[in-house]
């Protein structure tokens, strides 16, 4: 009896030990789920990177090889994590070892390739910013020298500001991606890291955008800035004496004087057409700013000229300055009209409605303002103040 009891006790102990061993074997590694998540994130990133470098057969094949290796490891780990009884614990150990190796090994050459493309694109952004700032500095100098008027300055600054701000925004995004990728490449996380995943995702999106654009936007912006540089480096200012076109108190050009107007405008027309013709395939705007000036001579309220000018001022009893401003504006309008007609007659194709070049003529009446920067306007009745000036400028249209 005692012998049977001892035998039963021995069997009971053995069964308990086996059960305990089995239980311990089935106790899952607490890091298994974390490794599984890390592998899935890695696989998604690799798939995105592969799509970016689809045209690079060598790199795409290498990334595809790692994707397949990761997929096999994921399958093994998922079976263990889901506690599939068909999978024995010892089969999990190599899967776990493989997962750790994949996650902790040095990242492949896809990240350096991403970094290379980001660095190249970053250089173009830096060029755009520097060139925009250089143009803005030159423009301010030419405004002070009277070579560029306020309207032209505003148009140039509008172009450079849009390009510079766009480049600054792109530069910031690329620098962030570069810094993050360098950190990930130097010290990859062995466990799922949302920050690293976000860094790679952001870098992927940035590079994808760069590759889709193919550098086209940056190159077009450089071409736009180069056009602005070319135009600000040539003489764009012309001055005409009003007496050469208008009789005393007159603000219209007689038909008999049209040939004289054409002869006077010819050098200005030639300079505009010669420049615009070099860029006729570009989408751009030719801006011509005409400014009429008058001296400080009084206009009699009983004169026909006063009767013609008073409605132009919009004032019941206009002052001398208001009348002279209206007169200078009418003269500027008249000369601007002939300028447009002459441009269209000289090169109808270049300035047609279907061409890439549009014309924007701005006419201003400056009245008794002094037209000179470094010369006083002391005399009230001074023919040197009765002038019409022209500034012209070519600017690329916005993308």
Rg (CA), the chain: 39
Closest CA to 103 of 18, 32, 171, 204: 32
Predicted local confidence at residue 124, as pLDDT = 92
Partners of 240 in the beta sheet? 388
Gap between the Cα atoms of 398 and 159, Å rounded: 7
Predicted local confidence at residue 256, as pLDDT = 85
Predicted local confidence at residue 15, as pLDDT = 47
Predicted local confidence at residue 160, as pLDDT = 95
Model confidence, pTM: 0.68
Q: End-to-end CA distance of the chain, in Å? A: 101
Predicted local confidence at residue 146, as pLDDT = 83
Task: Provide the angle, in degrees to the nearest 10, between the axes of the packed helices 194-213 and 216-232.
Answer: 60
Write the CA distances from 85 to 25, 26, 31, 88, 89, integer angstroms: 12, 9, 19, 7, 9
Tens-digit pLDDT profile for the chain (399 aa)?
444 544 445 444 444 544 444 444 444 555 567 667 777 777 777 777 777 666 667 667 777 777 787 787 777 777 666 665 445 545 556 666 665 565 555 555 567 777 888 898 899 999 999 999 999 999 999 888 888 888 889 999 999 999 999 999 999 988 988 888 787 777 665 554 566 667 777 777 777 777 777 667 888 899 899 999 998 888 777 888 887 788 778 888 888 888 888 888 889 899 998 898 888 788 889 999 999 998 888 999 999 999 999 999 999 999 999 999 999 999 999 999 989 888 888 887 777 765 688 889 999 999 999 888 778 888 888 888 888 999 899 899 865
Residue 252 has which token pair? 């219209």
Is the CA virtual torsion 317, 322, 327, 332 positive or negative?
Answer: negative
| Contact between residue 113 and residue 52 where contact means Cβ atoms under 8 Å apart | no
Question: Which residues are CB-contacts of 28 (< 8 A; sequence separation ≥ 6)?
Answer: 80, 81, 83
Is the CA virtual torsion 326, 328, 331, 333 positive or negative?
Answer: negative
Strand 284-293, strand 357-367: pairing: parallel
Calculate the CA 230 to chain-centre distance: 20
Residue whose entry in the numeric block shows the structure tokens 């008058």: 294
Question: Which residues are CB-contacts of 222 (< 8 A; sequence separation ≥ 6)?
Answer: 124, 127, 128, 131
């Amino acid at each position: 009896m005692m012998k049977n009891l001892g035998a039963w006790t021995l069997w009971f102990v053995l069964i308990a030990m086996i059960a305990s061993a089995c239980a311990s074997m089935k106790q899952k590694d607490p890091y298994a789920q974390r490794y599984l998540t890390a592998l899935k994130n890695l696989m998604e990133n690799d798939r995105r990177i592969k799509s970016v470098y689809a045209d690079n057969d060598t790199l795409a094949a290498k990334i595809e090889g790692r994707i397949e290796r990761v997929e096999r490891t994921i399958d093994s780990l998922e079976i263990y994590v889901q506690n599939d009884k068909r999978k024995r614990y010892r089969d999990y150990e190599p899967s776990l070892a493989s997962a750790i190796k994949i996650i902790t090994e040095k990242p492949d050459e896809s990240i350096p390739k991403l970094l290379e493309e980001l660095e190249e694109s970053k250089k173009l952004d830096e060029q755009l910013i520097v060139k925009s700032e250089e143009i803005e500095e030159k423009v301010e100098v030419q405004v002070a020298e009277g070579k560029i008027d306020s309207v032209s300055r505003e148009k140039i600054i509008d172009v450079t500001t849009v390009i510079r701000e766009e480049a600054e925004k792109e530069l910031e995004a690329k620098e962030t991606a570069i810094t993050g990728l360098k950190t990930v490449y130097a010290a990859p996380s062995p466990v799922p890291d949302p920050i690293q995943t976000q860094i790679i995702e952001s870098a992927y999106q940035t590079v994808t955008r760069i590759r889709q654009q193919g550098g086209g936007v940056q190159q077009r912006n450089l071409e736009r800035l180069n056009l602005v540089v070319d135009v600000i480096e040539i003489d764009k200012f012309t001055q005409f004496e009003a007496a050469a076109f208008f009789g005393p108190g007159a603000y219209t050009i007689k038909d008999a004087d049209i040939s004289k107007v054409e002869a006077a405008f010819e050098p200005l027309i030639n300079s505009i057409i010669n420049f615009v013709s070099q860029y006729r395939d570009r989408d751009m705007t030719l801006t011509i700013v005409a400014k009429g000036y008058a001296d400080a001579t009084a206009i009699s309220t009983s004169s026909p000229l006063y009767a013609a000018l008073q409605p132009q001022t919009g004032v019941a009893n206009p002052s001398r300055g208001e009348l002279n401003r209206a007169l200078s504006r009418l003269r500027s309008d008249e000369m601007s009209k002939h300028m447009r007609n002459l441009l269209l007659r000289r090169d109808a194709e270049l300035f047609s409605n279907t061409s890439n070049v549009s014309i924007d003529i701005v006419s201003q009446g400056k009245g008794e303002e002094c037209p000179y920067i470094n010369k006083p306007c002391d005399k009230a009745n001074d023919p040197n103040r009765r002038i019409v000036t022209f500034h012209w400028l070519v600017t690329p249209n916005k993308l």
